[in-house]
Amino acid sequence: MAQLHGSLEDQGLSSMTFLNEVAGRYPDAVSFAAGRPFEDDFDPEDIHRYLRAYCRYLAQERGFGSAEVRRTLYQYGRTKGIINELVARNLDIDEDIHVHPEAIVVTVGCQEAMVLALRALKSEGNDVLLAIAPTYVGLTGAARLVDMRVLTVPGGPRGADLEGLAERVREARRAGLRPRACYVMPDFANPSGVSMDLAVRHALLDFADDNDLLLLEDNPYGLFHGENDRLPTLKSLDARRRVIYLGSYAKTALPGARIGYIIADQTVQDAQGHSGLLADQLAKIKSMLTVNTSPIAQAVVAGKLLENGCSLASANDAARQRYARQMRQLLTGLSARFGGASGLPGVEWNEPSGGFFVVLSLPFPADDELLEYSAREYRLLWTPMHHFYGGTGGHYQLRLCVSLVSGPQIETGLDRLHALVHDRMRRATAAAMKDAYNRLEFAPLKYSLTRQ
Amino acid sequence: MAQLHGSLEDQGLSSMTFLNEVAGRYPDAVSFAAGRPFEDDFDPEDIHRYLRAYCRYLAQERGFGSAEVRRTLYQYGRTKGIINELVARNLDIDEDIHVHPEAIVVTVGCQEAMVLALRALKSEGNDVLLAIAPTYVGLTGAARLVDMRVLTVPGGPRGADLEGLAERVREARRAGLRPRACYVMPDFANPSGVSMDLAVRHALLDFADDNDLLLLEDNPYGLFHGENDRLPTLKSLDARRRVIYLGSYAKTALPGARIGYIIADQTVQDAQGHSGLLADQLAKIKSMLTVNTSPIAQAVVAGKLLENGCSLASANDAARQRYARQMRQLLTGLSARFGGASGLPGVEWNEPSGGFFVVLSLPFPADDELLEYSAREYRLLWTPMHHFYGGTGGHYQLRLCVSLVSGPQIETGLDRLHALVHDRMRRATAAAMKDAYNRLEFAPLKYSLTRQ
């Protein structure tokens, strides 16, 4: 191990391994841990229909002959992707983002998009990335792969602390570091569940411009806002081209296609003064990383887009309502068990209006040992938040995910959570009392306590 | 550009961009450049059939219920891959390689497999990779991405120069470098077309063991040997676990699925003394790079494997014969035009028994300028070999690929090549004469020459 790359010693990695391993050992547990999308609406036949829809589009809208259709599905295809035009249409309709298809690179999920961006930006040894804590573990992983240090600033209840970020940039520059970009998830962030309000979004864009930074906007959950709650993405407000947008179809189309994308409409100039799109540079990196994204997988997502007039907003209506319902049930259930009169000191949670995640704070450590105990004794899974802080925080918090649980399962899960919390608090109280007892030095009092 | 990662300044990258760009401008040219597999045997309906074959296998052989089948195609799936068992069967039958499915990581094409291996091995700044020149550009690209230097040693007519390699290792170690592995393509190498004989293969394995190195064996073309010409892969001879095997289904199944894999059955020990497979470490890197390979794309390749009893050897019989026929036609055509009595001094080529590639040496530079001229004046495309030497050689060589050309096209292409060579030699002679004339200082002789 000592002779392999340092990323393999990453805390986040062993965390994921540990979490998967615990989940694997208790398959019958109620899981508030898994962050996968709900799958029951999917039918394997959909894949066939999507593929046919894409082939029809190639023939009818693009005028491809059968040899060209065959080549499109069979051969490698270009590095930048083959469905960029449909992605651009989708962004236009669903996100109010208007970009040229050539400013988009289709990627193997959003994870590859992150790696492309970070690989391009990590040029010198002192290049660093800013991120909001708690941070999505995929981001920290991508940064480790390219040996890029991540400086985190707690996001707080509004999702970003602009003062804190600015101070961090100054600090970093004084220390000889070069902050290149700041990673943000403005909508239903993973893991905090927090969404940024419009003022924070504008402030972030100003901050990026003032400090000559890029923003990496990651938006896998934005479509799960209610229609009236949706705020503009940073990219749709990005008049100054400060935003690189990381897109994912995993939650809104089909995780199994592994299709994501990156928008990079910034201008890059070479030594000869020629200028081009940053997207073209990212495509070059992709040519060394995966060459191209499977055209078959791209065709599947394209077919789903085509079936829905390139809008996934309405296609996800049922899913959005389901997740919102599950979120409401979870929040109501938390209130009923831990709120008001039945409240316990130190038990608190945030109340996202949708998305997948809620963060619960506890008056005792929510660590790996407690998760193990929770799984074994209560058949209940959740995610310790310290994994998202790289060990620097979140020790008393856990993440609850609502995407895969519904109806009575949520109630059962919450009952178990309630029992676990009371169990642990009793044990904590008992331990504290035992500790106090052991410290007592007046023997007659000890004797009288023991006899009670 | 100066603020982006150094890999973007890579010579090989701009080469590929340049080559694609030239090919794009002359779509009607005869192309000995493109290295894609022949596609006419493919029908888009095959994809549907493969998917159904895989679903049937899940239900019948693995006992999956319909919910499990749905989940397998729809959700992310595990990082290591979901078709490892079928890949292992395939290796057992076609390659005489016997590995546990858990020693395999399924990747997004062979390119990702290379990145995984190099990312794991590039731990310290002085870690370097050995490779045989000329070298596949995908390998140099992957190395650039992880900032790993590549030391090349000319392969020569037998595909590897063991003395040269050993000397290079000694040199590197004297210079404080740490060679970690040597990249080799023992069968129909890209771009040289050369295959290694059995003695060279054994010598390579000994060399790796003697020098405490790993071998990265890349084998996209092995199945295109005639049944009686096939030699064992390094991995099948790898009693000492020195070989990491990079597999590709692009040429033998379906490029558009982008499915490759890596075998890493070496043992890795952590600081606590626990040991596990190197494959598990590579999977961790994959979790930070692409998370997992599209299950849908994996299912397509799995279906093709299942339809053929997990052997692609016989499934590729027709393709193999086609490529061999095209190779023979090309070699015969080269002989007819440039061999024997019609021979031109300095025009030479190697004679692979199959595969995709032949290297032609010329008495004048086969550079990008000549390719541009060849495309414009003769509608003929090929690949300048200097791109595979990182600028350190191959300036008088070009690569001819036979995979996409057949019958009369080959003859037309060779006629154009012949015309190009004569054209250039005439120009070279004329230039040499003009140069000689200009150097003449005896005016009466100049005058008499001009009057002729």
Q: What is the pLDDT of residues B42-86, one digit of tens each?
A: 999 999 999 999 999 999 999 999 999 999 999 999 999 999 999
HSE of A34, CA atoms in CB hemisphere, 13 A: 23
Neighbour count for residue B2 (Cβ, 10 Å): 9
What are the counts of helices (DSSP H) followed by strands (DSSP E) for chain B?
15, 15
CA separation for the pair B162, B182 (Å, rounded): 11
DSSP B99: -
pTM attached to this predicted model:
0.94
HSE of A181, CA atoms in CB hemisphere, 13 A: 25
Nearest chain A Cα distance for residue B90, angstroms: 21
Across the interface, whether the CB atoms of B256 and A138 are under 8 A apart is answered no
Of B55, B254, B288, the CB nearest to A141: B288
Which residue spans within A85-234 are E strands per DSSP?
104-108, 127-133, 149-154, 178-184, 214-218
Pull the structure tokens for residue B74: 């729809």
CA separation for the pair A345, B394 (Å, rounded): 75
Characterize B295-324 residue by residue with b for buried, 16 or more Cβ atoms within 10 angstroms of its Cβ, and e for exposed: bbbbbbbbbbbbebebebbebbeebbebbb
CA-CA distances (angstroms) from residue A26 to A353, A358, A360, A418? 30, 22, 22, 19
SS3 label, residue A152: strand
Contacts with A, B 89-108, CB within 8 Å: 108
Of B120, B268, B291, the CB nearest to A111: B291
CA separation for the pair A10, B276 (Å, rounded): 17
Pull the structure tokens for residue B301: 């390749």
CA separation for the pair B247, B249 (Å, rounded): 7
CA separation for the pair A202, A233 (Å, rounded): 10
SS3 label, residue A188: coil
Which residue spans within A2-126 are E strands per DSSP?
30-31, 104-108
Q: What pLDDT score was predicted for residue A272? A: 87
Q: Does the CB of A55 have a partner CB in chain B at under 8 Å?
A: yes
DSSP B346: T
Across the interface, whether the CB atoms of A290 and B121 are under 8 A apart is answered no
Q: Spell out the alpha helix ranges (H) of B190-346.
A: 198-210, 278-289, 295-307, 312-315, 317-338
CA separation for the pair B362, B421 (Å, rounded): 8
Across the interface, whether the CB atoms of B36 and A76 are under 8 A apart is answered yes
CA separation for the pair B231, B142 (Å, rounded): 28
| Sequence-distant (≥ 6) Cβ neighbours of residue A389 within 8 angstroms | A133, A134, A135, A152
CA separation for the pair B62, B86 (Å, rounded): 12
Q: pLDDT per residue over B113-129, tens digit each?
A: 999 999 999 999 999 99
CA separation for the pair A113, A142 (Å, rounded): 10
Contacts with B, A 351-370, CB within 8 Å: none
Residue in A with minimal Cα distance to B46: A74
What are the counts of helices (DSSP H) followed by strands (DSSP E) for chain A?
15, 15
Of B258, B259, B268, the CB nearest to A292: B258
Characterize A304-326 residue by residue with b for buried, 16 or more Cβ atoms within 10 angstroms of its Cβ, and e for exposed: bbbebebebbebbeebbebbbeb
Q: What pLDDT score was predicted for residue B400? A: 98
Contacts with B, A 247-266, CB within 8 Å: 250, 254-259
Across the interface, whether the CB atoms of B1 and A293 are under 8 A apart is answered no
Query: Is the distance from CB of B23 to CB of B31 less than 8 angstroms?
Result: yes
Mean pLDDT in consecutive groups of 10 residues from the start of chain B, 452 residues: 87 77 91 93 96 98 96 94 98 97 98 98 96 95 96 95 97 98 98 97 98 97 89 97 97 96 96 92 95 97 98 94 96 94 87 96 94 96 92 92 95 98 86 76 64 55
pLDDT tens series, chain A, 452 aa: 889 998 888 777 777 778 888 888 999 999 999 889 999 989 999 999 999 999 999 999 999 999 999 999 999 999 999 999 999 999 999 999 999 999 999 999 999 999 999 999 999 999 999 999 999 999 999 999 999 999 999 999 999 999 999 999 999 999 999 999 999 999 999 999 999 999 999 999 999 999 999 999 999 999 999 878 899 999 999 999 999 999 999 999 999 999 999 999 999 998 888 999 999 999 999 999 999 999 999 999 999 999 999 999 989 999 999 999 999 999 999 999 999 877 788 899 999 999 999 999 999 999 999 999 999 999 999 999 999 998 789 999 999 999 999 999 999 999 999 999 999 988 877 777 777 777 777 666 666 656 65
CA-CA distances (angstroms) from residue B73 to A47, A52, A307, B43, B79? 9, 17, 19, 22, 14
Which candidate, B422, B397, B414, B419, places its Cα nearest to that of B335?
B414
Query: Is the distance from CB of B154 to CB of B162 less than 8 angstroms?
Result: no
Which candidate, B108, B146, B135, B6, places its Cα nearest to that of A4?
B146
Determine the residue type at B376: R
Q: What pLDDT score was predicted for residue A447? A: 65
Which candidate, B116, B86, B142, B94, places its Cα nearest to that of B262?
B116
Q: Does the CB of B295 have a partner CB in chain A at under 8 Å?
A: yes
CA-CA distances (angstroms) from residue B207 to B134, B215, B278? 20, 10, 21
CA separation for the pair B119, B107 (Å, rounded): 14
Q: Does the CB of A1 have a partner CB in chain B at under 8 Å?
A: yes
Neighbour count for residue B44 (Cβ, 10 Å): 20
**Residue entry with tokens 């595969």:** B355
Neighbour count for residue A183 (Cβ, 10 Å): 26
Residue in B with minimal Cα distance to A24: B78
CA separation for the pair B393, B384 (Å, rounded): 11
First-to-final CA distance of chain B? 56
- How many Å is the Cα radius of gyration of chain A? 24
- Report phi then psi at A445, rounded to 5: -65, -45
CA separation for the pair A15, A439 (Å, rounded): 37
Chain A residues in contact with B142 (beta carbon < 8 A): 288-289
SS (H, E, C) B15-57: HHHHHHHHHHHCCCCEECCCCCCCCCCCCHHHHHHHHHHHHHH
Chain B residues in contact with A8 (beta carbon < 8 A): 120, 281, 284-285
Q: What are residue A275's DSSP bridge partners?
A: A269
Across the interface, whether the CB atoms of B138 and A289 are under 8 A apart is answered no
Q: Does the CB of A289 have a partner CB in chain B at under 8 Å?
A: yes
Q: What pLDDT score was predicted for residue B392? A: 84
Q: Is A379 buried (19+), middle (13-18) or exposed (0-12) by CB count in 10 A?
A: middle
CA separation for the pair B400, B351 (Å, rounded): 12
Query: Is the distance from CB of A263 to CB of A244 less than 8 angstroms?
Result: yes
